[in-house]
Amino acid sequence: MTNTILLVEDEEALSSYLVTELQFEDYQVFLAKDGEQALNLYDNNRGTLDLIILDWMLPKLDGLEVLRRIRKNDDIPVIMMTARDYIGDKVAGLDSGADDYITKPFEIEELLARIRVILRHENRHPQESSLYTVEDLTLNTKSRQVTRGNNLIQLTQREYELLLTLIRHGGETLTRDELLDSVWGVDFEGQPNVVDVYIRYLRNKVDRNYPHQLIHTVRGIGYVLTGNYQE
């Protein structure tokens, strides 16, 4: 299974290099270039992310504040990445909830090794499952398993992310642009109608042959998932 990483780095050359290297290692990467964008991407993709690589010095909100906000409700692994190498800074980062700390400049092999260690640990000690249940549809964000009634639904990663985004915004109509940013990333340069194509794929798996349809088109706006949510 492909792991998904949120990379938060505002230095253009470094972020481009890291995205290329991480994708080469078969990681899916979301890129944020400031603290506010990092929190937005985190909120929109929570449950699909496996790891955050977080720079300390960022525009709008610094990495430490981003980390503190994330730690209020999530223990997703976080590697702090910064040019600050003072012991006090490292202690502050770790005390705020960072799982690891790497100081610039570094060799990419070192970062990749740290990522592998953390992800191995997470796989051995999985976090408690988080479930979304809408009518007879259930989505488990830890196992990434989707069922409807007694049927297991096999989704591609993109279909899963699209469904998760719709579920998290249950009852809220999302535009095609919002779905593109959340599922494909803000830097996606393909055609916007890819959303329509994947909605059709998703409907064929989630709604087809079921009496109650959950995914609806709001003409001229976008899509919405409706139904009774269970805690």
What SS3 state is found at 74?
Answer: coil
Question: Is residue 23 domain-shared with residue 81, that is, in the same domain?
Answer: yes
Express each pLDDT in 37-74 by its tens digit: 999 999 888 778 999 999 988 999 998 899 988 887 77
Question: Is residue 119 domain-shared with residue 13, that is, in the same domain?
Answer: yes
Task: Determine the Cα–Cα distance for residues 11 and 51; give it in Å rounded to an integer.
Answer: 20
Report the CATH number at residue 71: 3.40.50.2300
> Which range has the top average pLDDT, 26-35, 153-162, 220-229?
26-35
pLDDT of 128 reads 47
What SS3 state is found at 138?
Answer: strand
Beta strands 100-103 and 78-82 are parallel
Question: Is residue 103 domain-shared with residue 139, that is, in the same domain?
Answer: no
Question: Is residue 154 domain-shared with residue 171, that is, in the same domain?
Answer: yes
Question: Is residue 9 domain-shared with residue 116, that is, in the same domain?
Answer: yes
Question: Is residue 67 domain-shared with residue 87, that is, in the same domain?
Answer: yes
Express each pLDDT in 104-133 by its tens digit: 889 999 999 989 988 877 664 455 447 889
Q: Please enumerate in sequence order all residues whose Cβ is within 8 A of that of 24, keeping only pairs 6 or more positions apart, or say none.
A: none
Express each pLDDT in 178-225 by its tens digit: 898 888 776 666 777 889 999 999 999 999 988 889 999 999 899 999
Q: Which domain-ending residue is among 109, 124, 139? A: 124
pTM, two decimal places? 0.55
Question: Is residue 109 domain-shared with residue 21, that is, in the same domain?
Answer: yes
Residue 79 in contact with residue 101, Cβ under 8 Å?
Answer: yes
Q: Over the chain, what is the mean pLDDT?
A: 86
Question: Is residue 11 domain-shared with residue 119, that is, in the same domain?
Answer: yes
Report the CATH number at residue 165: 1.10.10.10
Question: Is residue 76 domain-shared with residue 116, that is, in the same domain?
Answer: yes
Question: Is residue 69 domain-shared with residue 102, that is, in the same domain?
Answer: yes
Number of CB atoms found within 10 A of residue 198's CB: 19
Residue 82 in contact with residue 63, Cβ under 8 Å?
Answer: yes
- Residue 75's domain comprises 4-124
Number of CB atoms found within 10 A of residue 206's CB: 21
Question: Is residue 118 domain-shared with residue 225, that is, in the same domain?
Answer: no
Split into its structural domains, the chain has a count of 2
- Helix (H) or strand (E) holding 7, with range, is strand 4-8
